[in-house]
Amino acid sequence: MPARWSFSLLLLAVYLATFHLWMHVGRAGVVVSGLVATVGLSALFVRASGQNYFLNHWDAFWHGSVILDVFLEAVLVPYHGDYSFYLCALAFVVVVGGYRQWVWQRCLRRAALHASATGAGGAPPLAFSSMNEVTWEKQFRAVYDRGVAAWQAGRRKPATMFDAEDVSFLAGIGCTAQELFDFVDDSLVYGEPDFATALGVQAIRRDYLLNEMKGMKSAKQSAMSDLPPKAQEVDGISWLPRLIVKARMKLRGEMPDDLMYGCGGDRPFLRRMKTTLPVFLQLVRECGSDDRRIIDTLKHGAGIK
């Protein structure tokens, strides 16, 4: 609860303190202290944004409007001699706090509905798809970086690499701790795949979850035995039948823990086929169950007749 309201409460405290100060200083003091407060609050605003504090663009806008009010009051209003600013503060509390609480409760209700529909009592906060696209990408980067730091500190298992909050966030975008662990671990051991690839793959999986699966988690987890053998071929190309099935598992969130989309076999295969992990995953998504279209498109891109 404190973290959820930390910047909002700080903003309110600085707002009230600044206006109280203005009742006891002259015009120059109002301008100088107002500018100092504006700069300081703006810096904290940027920091809060970088830490994904705001729930969406409107949440950030309403907080920013308070900072703008401090600036305008400082430079446009010569004197502040009464307590009417408490009415403005109350209005900001109602608008900023009320909106933030409304968005938060809406997210919790949608998460509860998801939990009820899937039978998952500790369901991930899928409702936070209302957050802007940049926000989830920033948060994914932060979780990824924490994974790298954990790996470098010797915590090289999914259970120790990510805390409960990170696992919950990952679940909300259709990723498991195991899946992100695999990307981090391979990147640090083999030098690939890089973060951009992990993000590209996750963006496709997240979009598929939210738009194709309507935010509903699959009740199935595939087994390794569901995969075609590595040596199985189609049109003389081995590995491809296996990778097509694996990509569909990835899209639906049905990957076995022992399986990685983008493993040490997938990456060189796709390089030979002149494509990438995200591009192939998107191709499989667009082609649906049409294996022939996937095969022909891949062969065409690789210059194979």
Q: How many CA atoms lie within 13 A of 231 on its CB side?
A: 0
Q: Let me know if residue 88 belongs to a domain.
A: yes
Do residues 153 and 90 both lie within one domain?
Answer: no
Do residues 96 and 26 both lie within one domain?
Answer: yes
Do residues 50 and 96 both lie within one domain?
Answer: yes
Question: Which domain range does residue 70 map to?
Answer: 2-115
Do residues 206 and 228 both lie within one domain?
Answer: no
Do residues 12 and 101 both lie within one domain?
Answer: yes
Q: Let me know if residue 120 belongs to a domain.
A: no
Question: Which residue type is seen at 167?
Answer: V
| Segment-wise mean pLDDT, segments of 10 residues, the chain, 305 residues | 74 94 92 95 89 80 94 89 88 90 66 41 39 72 96 96 93 95 97 94 94 90 95 96 97 95 96 95 94 95 91
CA–CA distance, 224 with 128 (Å, rounded to integer) = 32
Do residues 264 and 207 both lie within one domain?
Answer: no
pLDDT at 157: 95
Do residues 45 and 149 both lie within one domain?
Answer: no
pLDDT at 48: 84
Q: Let me know if residue 23 belongs to a domain.
A: yes
DSSP conformation class of 127: G
pLDDT at 107: 57
Q: Let me know if residue 219 belongs to a domain.
A: no
Do residues 147 and 197 both lie within one domain?
Answer: yes
DSSP conformation class of 129: G
pLDDT at 109: 54
Element (H, E) at 58: helix 57-76
CA–CA distance, 161 with 146 (Å, rounded to integer) = 8
Q: Let me know if residue 29 belongs to a domain.
A: yes
Structural domain count, the chain: 3
Q: Let me know if residue 142 belongs to a domain.
A: yes
pLDDT at 112: 45
pLDDT at 139: 92
Q: Let me know if residue 94 belongs to a domain.
A: yes
